[in-house]
Amino acid sequence: MPKSSLEKTVESGISFLSKIFPLQSYLYFPLLNASLFWAIKRTKEWKEKIFSWKVWLDPERVKLKPDDFILSFFSDNRALMRCFEPEIRKKDMASLRGSFARLYPILGLEDPFLSALFHEEMESGDYRKIVKEFDQKVIQAEKDISELKNQSKLIRGLKDFAGEMVSLSLELISQEKVQKVIAEIIKKHVRSKNG
């Protein structure tokens, strides 16, 4: 079956990133997803610092939500409720507040970078793994991106990727579907690379 323009564009984006980050394939989806998110939001002006991302909403402020807001965040989402049932039942706010600080930017505010960074855990519903690995994984991503020497090359590459994606009139397709296509192609790429 011939490849669609979307698949071809995503593959060229992956091919570009694999040259820049040959060993950090975990960054492909967050970077491409964040590029796509911002590109769709503003098709006229490309933001130059796609990777100047941050954890959405000051983490300190996330910790300041009222207990009831936090409880409601967990109990309104059936998957979360199942996962954190013991803490919800005991109203263990210290533990729930800690988990909330990590999960709210991803599941509540839907940060495009972070939700892609924890895409696999989200798909498998392993929210405890997100909580456990959040700090370490986010710090690692920040370190890997900031240590890249040729940052302008990365910006140019992501800019080209975003430009091509926007030209495909992706606003007509659901963003979730596009994200699935990107994630699938990245998985295939990583599998074939690992033999």
Considering the rule CB under 8 A, would residue 78 count as an interface residue with other proteins?
Answer: yes
Q: Is 147 in the site for other proteins (CB under 8 A)?
A: no
Tracing tokens 């309104």 back to the chain, one arrives at: 76
Stretch that binds other proteins, among 12-20, 24-32, 52-60, 180-188 (CB under 8 A): 52-60
Q: Considering the rule CB under 8 A, would residue 61 count as an interface residue with other proteins?
A: yes
Residue 52: DSSP 8-state:
-
| CB contact set of 133 (below 8 Å; sequence gap of 6+) | 121
177 binds other proteins (CB under 8 A): no
- What's the CA gap between 36 and 14, in Å, rounded? 13
Query: Dihedral of the CA atoms 30, 21, 38, 56 (nearest 10)?
Result: 50
Query: Per CB under 8 A, which region of 9-17, 41-49, 138-146, 163-171 contacts other proteins?
Result: 41-49
How many residues comprise the chain? 195
Token look-up 């192609």 returns 185
Query: Is the Cβ–Cβ distance between 11 and 185 less than 8 Å?
Result: yes
Q: Which stretch binds other proteins (CB under 8 A): 50-58, 134-142, 146-154, 186-194?
A: 50-58
Q: How far is the CB of 45 from other proteins (least distance, A)?
A: 6
- Tell me which residues touch other proteins (CB under 8 A): 38, 41-42, 45, 47-50, 52, 56-58, 60-61, 63-66, 68-69, 72, 76-79, 82, 105, 108-111, 125, 176
